[in-house]
Every structure is written in C-alpha cells, then in structure tokens.
Amino acid sequence: MSMWNREKETLSRDEYARMQLSGLKKSLSRVWGNEFYRERLRRGGLGSPEDVKSLYDLVSLPFFTKDDFREAYPLKMNCVDRRDLLEFHMSSGSTGTPVVMAYTKNDLLQWAECMARCYAMAGLDKGDALQIMPTFGLFNGGFGCYHGARKAELFTIPASSGNTERQLRLMRDFRTKGFVSVVSYVPRLIEKLDACPEGERDLPYLKVGIFGSETFSDETRKRIESRLGIECFDIYGMTETGGIGTTGQDCSHHCGLHVWEDQYITEIVDPETGKEVPDGEYGEVVFTSLTREAMPIIRYRTHDISRIISREKCACGRTSLRIDRITGRTDDMLIVKGVNFYPRQVEQALKEIPGVADEFQIILDEHNGMTDVTINVEAAPGVTGHTVAKHLRERLGFLPKGDVFPIGALPRTEGKAKRVIRKNAQG
C-alpha cells in the first residue's frame, strides 16, 4: 500500500501520544505569547502553559470557535512576526466577518505534507496528472491542492472552477488520472459528458476523484464511481485547521477518515455539554493543532458531526485514528414538525428511489413561527411526486411538500451546491 510518509503514518499509539503531548506543549507556549489567545485561555481557567502536564489535561482548556476567529479579524491571532507571514486564505464571509488563516513557510510545508499524504493514499504517484478544480484565490481549496501536488511531484493541471466543457477537454488531452472537486459539481460533469458525441462519453485515463468541502452519501459515491469508472475519496480539512487535507482522508478500504495524529489531536464531544463522548458515539469534532506556527488552534469546535470508528491499525497499514465520514454539522441540523434531520439524510433517502437524479433542493418556509419544508427533486419520466413524498416520509418521519422536475431543470452552481434555501415569510 503506497504511503507518502510511512514513518509518521504507522506510529504506535504510545508514539502518537508522546508526539501529541510534546506538540501540545509547544502550541500552548506559542499562543501564550499572543494577547488574544492568552486572555481567552485565562478566562477559560488556564493559569500557565506549564499547568498542562499530560494529554488528560487537554479537557481543562477552553474551547475556541469560529466566533473567536471573527473577533480576531484580521490578524489578532497571529503568533509570529508579521514579516514571517508568506500567505493567507480565508472563508467567504457570506455569513459575517470572514475567517482568516495565515501561513509561515513551515505552515505551508505542513499543508503540503498533509496533502501529499492524501494524494498517495488515493493512489496518485509522481508524474500522474492531477486536475485541480477548486478555485484559486482567497478560498483555500485551489492553492492547498497545488501546494500538495508540487510536494508529491504530480503533473499539475490548475484548471480552477467552472467551464465544464474545458474541464472535460483537459481531462482527455492531458490524460488526467485524478481530480479534486466539490462533489456537487460532478453531476454537471457527467451531464456534459453524456451529451458528448458517441465515442467521447468516457474518460479512460481517469481513475481517482477526491472530494472535499461537502458531505456526500455512499449512494452518491457509488453512482459517481459507476458512471466515471473511478474510485472516490473523501478529503477533510477546513480554513481553521489550515486548509483542505490538513486533517485527513479515507484510504482505499473506505473504512473511515484517517486523521493525521502527528499533526492534530482529535476529540469528539457532546455538542450540548462539551463533554467527551465514548468511541463509537456521534458528537462534534474538536481539533487541536500540534505543528502550526502562525495561527495554531486549541480545542477548536468544528461543528462537524462524526464519531471515532477505530484506534486500531487499518488494513491499509496506517495506524492513525479513524473517524467516520462527516454526517452533517451541528449548525446545519434542520428541525421540522419536531423532527431533527440533516441535508445528507435527505440525499441518502432520495438516492434510494429509482429514477431520481442528483440535484435537489430543500426549501424552508418560516411563517408565524412554523416551518414548512419543500423538497424539489429532478427525476426521469415516470417518477411521481407521490412516490418521492411517501419514501421521504418513511425515512424522515414527516411528510414534506415537493415536486418532481425534469433532469436539468433545477439551477446549477459551479461551486458548492446550495441545497438548503430559507424563506423568512412575515406574518
């Protein structure tokens, strides 16, 4: 089984623990020199970094959240000399002040190392053609993929997002073996591919698809793999952890996301109480970085929902902690008529209905304190709204409104799909 860094990816549990304690102490000492971090940690009860003597002391530290990053905008959380910063990326800021992540030279090397591990895990080797479809810019996706591709010495095709016909032409002309994208863009690729002339509807050199930034179901994975003849991988990382791929990916056995434990400590906590939950139980993912310099994270609450699957050695040979693929986010949970559910559950249910296509919308209409939900889907002729509604009621526990549209009728986006649309009616 190919590994990028066999030494660090196959450490024993004791070796990981020693490395994590050393990294935790270094991170705490680093952030203690920053006034913003220091005051937050003091308010949370930490008197000094020296108070942390073992990994068990981690739970005594306060949580950090996205609100901390927003309060610290633009660079109040920077822990190095400004002259040592080489690059920064940030979230879109569509829901408020953007989240900024700055990088030193070593931070960029750490990012590239993590991404190179992900590429090797997906079966990509030196010289293989990799097509990068995330946007190059302030969003971290494109550049993170690029830094890692340079490290792994892949033949990089920096296509960026959009222009689907060109994406397909590049895949054919340059014999693309793997590509990175948001998963919701793949149905658009497939639609264009299916519309091509006879003899041009397959991509014979394409073997690997790496998808991040969005959750997707096993049914979606199987559909994509079947149509494109590829193997799909789920990559994990976010702006706050340093970007795409920084926290891990699933291997070819697809039995959970391998977390880079020499780089991050992972906790799963109860979203309500903040207390750690037993292995196997779902909760909120919390990360603490061990090697990042400019803006380390200490007990960062991601809002992502997962669980610890195993701490044992995987069949791929890696020994790192494995967590379940992200099932949703605490802030994405929808409550309709007393029933809690996540958009991914809707996707899973829809994929079970023969003839239903990939595009769908969840429309929430709030009126007089009540929320009505409408689920619109695309489907082949013969699929009725009654069939869809009946199946969703069985799977979700309530009967949504909705309609069935011809394939291609619902709006498309080049980036992340907008699955949930909220309407705030007055009344």
Q: Who contacts 417 (Cβ-Cβ below 8 Å, separation ≥6)?
A: 182, 184, 185, 214, 359
Provide the number of structural domains found in the chain: 2
Same domain membership, residue 186 and residue 257? yes
pLDDT digits (tens, 9 = 90+) for 79-122: 999 999 999 999 865 556 889 999 999 999 999 999 999 999 99
Q: Find the range with the poorest average confidence among 117-126, 248-257, 292-301, 411-420.
A: 411-420
Identify the pLDDT of residue 333: 67
Same domain membership, residue 338 and residue 289? no
Specify burial of residue 62 (Cβ count, 10 A radius: 0-12, 13-18, 19+): middle
Same domain membership, residue 269 and residue 362? no
Identify the pLDDT of residue 400: 79
Which CATH number goes with the domain that contains 264? 3.40.50.12780
**Average pLDDT of the chain to the nearest whole number:** 90
Same domain membership, residue 70 and residue 146? yes
Identify the pLDDT of residue 335: 66
Same domain membership, residue 316 and residue 283? yes
Query: Could you say which of 286, 308, 331 is where a domain stops?
Result: 331
Identify the pLDDT of residue 101: 97
Query: Could you say which of 331, 366, 400 is where a domain stops?
Result: 331
Distance CA 269, CA 44 (A): 17
Angle between helices 105-121 and 140-151 (to 10 degrees): 80
Same domain membership, residue 240 and residue 149? yes
Range(s) of the domain holding residue 351: 334-424
pLDDT digits (tens, 9 = 90+) for 180-228: 998 888 988 999 999 988 888 899 999 999 998 777 778 888 989 999 9
Over residues 319-332, mean pLDDT: 86
Note the pTM of the prediction, 2 decimals: 0.82
Identify the pLDDT of residue 427: 41
